[in-house]
Homo-oligomer: A and B are copies of this chain.
């Protein structure tokens, strides 16, 4: 089959890969769409020492599932962390932090930039009928955006700033807007600003008097260490900063500032798929305007290049 293969930080299109074989408790899924995420682009730059098929955002149809024929033909999305179920973290319910976890397209498990992918049945979620493939492929990053509200209470009183309006920032802003909070997004690209305006979300191009040192909650989604410095400027004393960004390498940080201002920094990663699917089903978040272009998988390398352009939004692959 065709797939985008990563080895030694070099991505390439391969056409010689075998269709994967689902193990016990796993399903074989035919991929309909896969989404390109900032993490994929970072991995191509050497963010993680992974060799295998890239891609962790997908929607597809179950071809077969050993011992569970009821899954065949179902349209599904899949959680990306494969947990052992045995370690202390799995035992206390923190399966996404399993000490021996594999992560789809990221660590030890071939991903979804392929014609077929396998995943444990326990990772799969059926997609409601009303949710289109183009929307369902956003389930994973939308869940990651919703994780913010799993970790931090957001009220309508709160002044909230999202830093960065790229792929994740756009989704974070859309989910935070549902809380009725006083939301502003720091967005520098015209394309990003236009998408926010179309969704009825306020944005600024730079911190102003309303946001500097005044925000109860700042969500850093810029993927850039500069975003962290801006978050420190924006949050009020005793405020909360949610860190969604991962930065390549170490960053120079004024850590004493956290103690003096009693600010909390909350790291945030994967989130609840059920809730993301419900929002999509009810139309409360519509991610489809974020799709910039759909490439056939055979042009996956061109898609990765296009997705890495500054200001680029979501690119999908269709196998």
Q: Contacts of A24 on B, CB cut-off 8 Å?
A: none
A213 to chain B, nearest CB (A): 8
A246 close to B (CB within 8 Å)? yes
Q: Which partner residue on chain B sits nearest A262 by CB separation? A: B267
1/0 per position for A257-295, CB-CB distance to B under 8 A?
111111111111100000000000000000000000000
Q: Which residues of B contact A214 (CB under 8 A)?
A: 88
Asked whether A262 and B228 contact (CB < 8 A) given A89-B237, A236-B89, A255-B243, the answer is no
Instruction: Determine whether the beta carbon of A244 is less than 8 Å from that of B259.
Output: yes
Task: From the candidates B265, B266, B269, name the one contacting A260 in the complex (CB within 8 A).
Answer: B269
Does A153 sit within 8 A of B, measured CB to CB?
Answer: no
What per-residue 1/0 map shows which CB atoms of A208-242 lie under 8 Å from chain B? 00000110000000000100100000001110000
Q: Does the CB pair B264–A269 fall under 8 Å?
A: no
The answer to whether A129 has its CB under 8 Å from any CB of chain B is: no
Interface residues of A in 175-229 (CB under 8 A from B): 213-214, 225, 228
A16 interface residue, CB < 8 Å from B? no
Residues A251 and B246 in contact in the complex (CB < 8 Å), given A263-B267, A268-B262: no
Contacts of A260 in B (CB 8 A): 246, 267, 269
Q: Is the CB of A246 within 8 A of B237?
A: no
A261 with B255: CB separation less than 8 A:
no
Query: CB-defined interface of A67-87 with B at 8 Å, one 1/0 digit per residue?
Result: 000000000000000000000
| Closest partner residue, chain B, to A261 (CB atom) | B267
Report B-chain residues with C-beta under 8 Å of the C-beta of A266. Answer: 262, 264
Q: In the complex, which residue of chain B has the Cβ closest to the Cβ of A98? A: B237
**Chain B residue nearest in CB terms to A47:** B256
Q: How far is the CB of A107 from chain B (nearest CB, A)?
A: 11
State in angstroms the CA–CA spacing of A292 and B54 once bound together.
60
Task: Determine how close the nearest CB of chain B comes to the CB of A84; give it in whole angstroms.
Answer: 14
A41, B151: Cα distance in complex, Å: 37
Q: Does A309 contact B (CB under 8 A)?
A: no
27 A-B pairs (CB sep. < 8 Å): A88-B214, A94-B238, A97-B238, A97-B261, A151-B262, A225-B255, A228-B255, A243-B255, A243-B258, A244-B259, A245-B256, A246-B259, A246-B260, A247-B256, A249-B254, A250-B253, A250-B254, A250-B255, A251-B254, A252-B252, A258-B265, A260-B267, A260-B269, A261-B267, A262-B266, A262-B268, A264-B266
The 10 A-B residue pairs whose C-beta atoms are closest, nearest first, are: A258-B267, A97-B237, A246-B256, A259-B267, A265-B265, A250-B252, A264-B266, A253-B253, A262-B267, A251-B255
